[in-house]
Amino acid sequence: MKVTIRDVARLAEVSPSTVSRALKNSSLISQSTKDRIINAANELGYHPNEIARSLAKQSSYTLGLVLPVTAEESLENPFFTRFILGVTSYLESQDYSLLLSSAKNESNELQQIQRTAYSKRVDGIILLNIRDQDKNIAFLKEKQFPFVVVGTPENRKEMLWVDNDNEKAMYNLTKELILTQHKKIAFLGGSKDLIVTQNRLKGYKKALLDHNMKPDPSLILEVNFRESEGYYFTQKLLKEIPDIDAIVTTDDLIAYGSIRAIKELGYQIPNEISITGFNNTTLSQYLKPSLTSVEIHPTKLGANAAKLLVSYIKDNEIKKNSYIVNTEIIKRNSSR
């Protein structure tokens, strides 16, 4: 009669899942428990077959993550590396793996997601953003393929999602600039199709309105999350409206380019223009001047996204469908 993992669990007086983790040398299992399980497995002559385990459960024990940027761009933006760190740290504790790919544009992103889902190499997919009329979400819903999104969906109770309160974070940042006597504050944000940009723009506008300052459309620009875009559009903005005294950006990479442009145009930071970022990348503290930014804790976002998706895959039901990760303003020398 074939020995099963349940037989080993029964002899070792632990659960089958504990046996599985112990045989994979999981750090979550104490050495004494591992020794007891190994002894039980040896006594019964149990030899786990991981391929058979996957086929029996129809599971790959792998999640897919499609980065919405090229591989080169993902390396340039520390948000992605910090997010992936959070995902992989949690997956390792659950004996799961991560299949990583990247996309050069929105249509290619959908192709990558379709290819990943149809390949049967993953049990679920992590989406790193949400757009208006999101085709990626529509596809995964239609195929009833497990997924989690980073962002706040319209139907919050029907999906797995993790996010920061981006509206509140940008509101607080803009409010601080207003309270330190800034009168003309520009906004450099990502694509307006992205929900994260929409929410941060809402926070910016609400802070202005709450302090009797009318949002000026000429001060609100849509740019890509690249240093070169921050540089180009800041140059353009300041040449057209030279009396701007603060610029808020929705990503530190944009702010890096803005700082370079501001300096080249002869402005003093922060005496004449304050500049702020978002994501609090490691380099921000070493810039001259060091960059005021919003810490969004990408590692926590990644870990919570993986946790939600793995829990759903294992239980096939939603006990908890979302996590909100706190943010904080890291005040440095680029804002007065």
CATH number of the domain encompassing residue 28: 1.10.260.40
Q: What is the pLDDT of residues 62-96, one digit of tens each?
A: 999 999 888 787 788 889 999 999 999 999 999 89
Q: Which long-range contacts (CB under 8 A, 24 or more apart) does 207-210 make?
A: 207/170, 207/171, 207/172, 207/174, 207/175, 207/178, 208/174, 208/178, 210/175
Check whether residue 177 and residue 274 sit in a common domain. yes
Check whether residue 218 and residue 70 sit in a common domain. no
Q: What is the pLDDT of residues 236-288, one digit of tens each?
A: 999 999 999 999 999 999 999 999 999 999 999 999 999 999 999 999 999 99
Per the structure, the count of domains in the chain is: 3
CATH number of the domain encompassing residue 82: 3.40.50.2300
Check whether residue 180 and residue 110 sit in a common domain. no
Q: What average pLDDT does this structure show over 5-14? A: 89
The predicted structure's pLDDT at residue 189: 95
Check whether residue 107 and residue 194 sit in a common domain. no
Check whether residue 321 and residue 254 sit in a common domain. no
Q: What average pLDDT does this structure show over 303-321? A: 89
The predicted structure's pLDDT at residue 50: 45
Check whether residue 143 and residue 188 sit in a common domain. no
| Nearest by Cα to 176 from 202, 208, 219 | 208
Check whether residue 193 and residue 290 sit in a common domain. yes
Give residue 300's Cα distance to chain centre: 9
- Structural contact between residues 236 and 222, judged by C-beta atoms closer than 8 angstroms: no
Whether the pLDDT of residue 23 is over 80: the answer is no
pTM: 0.80
| Nearest by Cα to 149 from 204, 98, 194 | 194
Which residue range(s) make up the domain with 223?
Answer: 166-295
The predicted structure's pLDDT at residue 266: 96
The predicted structure's pLDDT at residue 1: 63
Asked whether residue 243 is domain-assigned, the answer is yes
Q: How many whole angstroms separate alpha carbon 11 and alpha carbon 152?
A: 46
